[in-house]
Structure 1
Amino acid sequence: MQKLIVFLLVILFSTVIYSQKKEAYRLYNAKGSKVSYNKMIDKMNKADIVLFGEHHNNPIVHWLQYETTKDLSKKRSLTMGAEMFEADNQSQLNAYLVGEIDQKAFDTVARLWNNYSTDYKPLVDFAKTKNIKFVATNVPRRFASLVFKGGFEVLEELSDEEKSWMAPLPISYDATLPGYVKMKEMMGGHGGDNLPKAQAIKDATMGYFILKNRENNKLFIHYNGSYHSDDYEGINWYLNRGDSNLKIVSVSVVEQENVKKFNKENKLKADFIIVVPTSMTKTY
């Protein structure tokens, strides 16, 4: 009897301690079942392309991106690419990667995001150290602004050099894709039909440069805002139009009050979903 009481007390104590444990994140699959980090790595290792969606200001996701890239590099040859670098800055990025310019010069000649030093520099420096190709996949932001103001038609007026920094014209576009419809609805119609088109030129261009730089014997891992690849749309849609046989693994991130219980509305957002607490501190 005494042993039973001791056993029950141990179980009760362990349960209390576990319930008080603060978790920085939990990882789930598309169906909402908890999965391990190693399970995610194993599936990514068998893919052609990984679309690692993020919240730009979430430190846990940036850390997971770095750790994932490091661990995958031990299994596969990689190519890296990111939304955070625009195609017309590829030469500057290349110069930094091969040591032709230092960080100070890179900061001067390239349009780096304000959170570059904390959130993206570790990835770029990893590529530099390991001699991994890093692709600037995004369209120059001024082109997206042009589309927002005047539609895809204004892109025809760009020079041949400028057109080389984006997906080839004419831009394929499906206005009925739920993500683009939702974007328009969220803005209450402000921005009209051109608002989702400005998003689409980014998605199309990122998809184009991923396909252009992908090598059959290498895994292409791409970092982008999760809204560019959520629900298997955005970049996914353009990649599948280019090659429907690609094995693509996507990652998304959502915030919940309780990371231990997966919210059903987040199912099928991606192959792997990182759930972080809403109280998680931000990088900016």
Structure 2
Amino acid sequence: MRICIACLFLVVITTVRAQDKPAYKLFTQEGKDVEYTKMIKALAKADVVLVGELHDNAIDHWLELQVAKDLYAVRNDLVLGFEMFEADDQIVLGEYLTGVIEERHLLSEAKVWDNYKNDYKPLIELAKEKKLPAIATNVPRRYANLVYRKGIDALQTLPEEAKKWIAPLPIEIDLTLPGYKSLASMSMGGHGGAPSNENMARSQAVKDATMAYFILKNRKGLFVHYNGAYHSQNFEGIVWYLKKAAPELKIVTIHSVEQDSIEELEEKNQKVADFVIAIPKDMTKTY
């Protein structure tokens, strides 16, 4: 009788465990489980944290807010930076944070993303509440598009006033870096070589270089930067430009991936960042 009861108990426990549905799981770059609090301790020791997000992922945006709050609890010298705001919108963003203008002005006069209210407003409101700097780091999209259409040298034709919103020219671009090389190949449809097709990768590099430039220009304490996962994965993109300019910086990267199962980190998702957030592939999207 006791044996039967024990067996029944084990069946119940196994069934309960099978019903657990974690919304995410954290891993080190080697694929080992890591606790959230341990990650926060590591982030708090950094000079720059790059948060590589999936733009439409609800868990990513919730975690970004939690990480910012928990880092602020131990480092009140936070600076938040955003790919989602273009550098020439800094004056409008700053005016909103200091209460000079209302939110309606921010929404109408800055080039805010369509998912701003759901996904980035909580971070901006945290910055406003805690009086933290929030930095618009991205190159104005019209200049990234100019590079895509006419090549990197087209930036030299811009007036000096416009060049203030771009990393200092000339921008070094290494198209042999795996991320850029892959992007160039994709944009070429696998047909090799035309320089105009490589401009897709060059325009992304200009974004990376500009984001790195404004991170360095505005770094006072711990700079936490929010960007698409592509821009910092495999320690390339923004990371490459930061290290070129300031090799002494302690940079920690976070990267998000979606998997059918998050029990283990898939091999292809290992070594892409210092910390990897694995999220179920069927997680709710914000748009």
TM-score under structure 2 normalisation? Answer: 0.95
> CA–CA distance in 2 between the matches of 1:189 and 1:141?
26
Q: Which residue of 1 aligns with 2:267?
A: 264
1:89-113 C-alpha deviation (Å, 9 max, x unpaired): 0000000000011111111111100
Q: Any idea what SS the aligned residue of 2:26 has?
A: strand
Q: How does 1:131-150 map to 2 (within 5 A)?
A: 131-150=131-150
1:203 and 2:177 aligned: no
> CA–CA distance in 2 between the matches of 1:160 and 1:86?
17
Q: Which residue of 2 aligns with 1:84?
A: 84
Q: Any idea what SS the aligned residue of 2:197 has?
A: coil
Q: Which residue of 2 aligns with 1:212?
A: 217
Q: 1:242 aligns with which of 241, 245, 250?
A: 245
Q: Which residue of 1 aligns with 2:177?
A: 177
Q: Runs (4+) of structure 1 moved beyond 2 Å?
A: 4-12
Q: Any idea what SS the aligned residue of 1:192 has?
A: helix
Q: Which residue of 2 aligns with 1:121?
A: 121
1:189 Cα deviation from its structure 2 partner: 4.9
> CA–CA distance in 2 between the matches of 1:91 and 1:182?
36
1:168 and 2:171 aligned: no
The one-letter amino acid paired with 2:72 is S
Kept in 1: contact 2:51–2:227 (CA 8 A): yes
Question: Percent identity of the aligned residues?
Answer: 48
Kept in 1: contact 2:52–2:228 (CA 8 A): yes
Q: Which residue of 2 aligns with 1:156?
A: 156
Count of residue correspondences: 281
Q: Any idea what SS the aligned residue of 1:52 has?
A: strand
TM-score under structure 1 normalisation? Answer: 0.96
1:202 Cα deviation from its structure 2 partner: 0.2
**Structure 1 pair 189–146 and aligned structure 2 pair: CA distance change class (3 A):** farther
> CA–CA distance in 2 between the matches of 1:51 and 1:11?
43
1:191-210 C-alpha deviation (Å, 9 max, x unpaired): 51111000000000000000
Kept in 1: contact 2:86–2:139 (CA 8 A): yes
Q: Which residue of 2 aligns with 1:253?
A: 256
Q: Which residue of 2 aligns with 1:14?
A: 13
Q: How does 1:23-62 map to 2 (within 5 A)?
A: 23-62=22-61
The one-letter amino acid paired with 2:225 is H
Q: Any idea what SS the aligned residue of 1:145 has?
A: helix
The one-letter amino acid paired with 1:20 is Q
Structure 2, unaligned runs of 5 or more: none
The one-letter amino acid paired with 2:16 is I
1:5 Cα deviation from its structure 2 partner: 4.4
1:114 Cα deviation from its structure 2 partner: 0.1
1:141-174 C-alpha deviation (Å, 9 max, x unpaired): 0000000011110001111111000100000111
1:27-65 C-alpha deviation (Å, 9 max, x unpaired): 111001111111110100110000001010001000000
1:281 and 2:263 aligned: no
Q: Which residue of 1 aligns with 2:225?
A: 222
> CA–CA distance in 2 between the matches of 1:204 and 1:249?
18
> CA–CA distance in 2 between the matches of 1:99 and 1:198?
34
The one-letter amino acid paired with 1:15 is T
RMSD between aligned residues? 1.2
Q: How does 1:78-117 map to 2 (within 5 A)?
A: 78-117=78-117
The one-letter amino acid paired with 2:222 is L
Structure 1, unaligned runs of 5 or more: none
> CA–CA distance in 1 between the matches of 2:245 and 2:217?
10
**Structure 1 pair 211–12 and aligned structure 2 pair: CA distance change class (3 A):** same
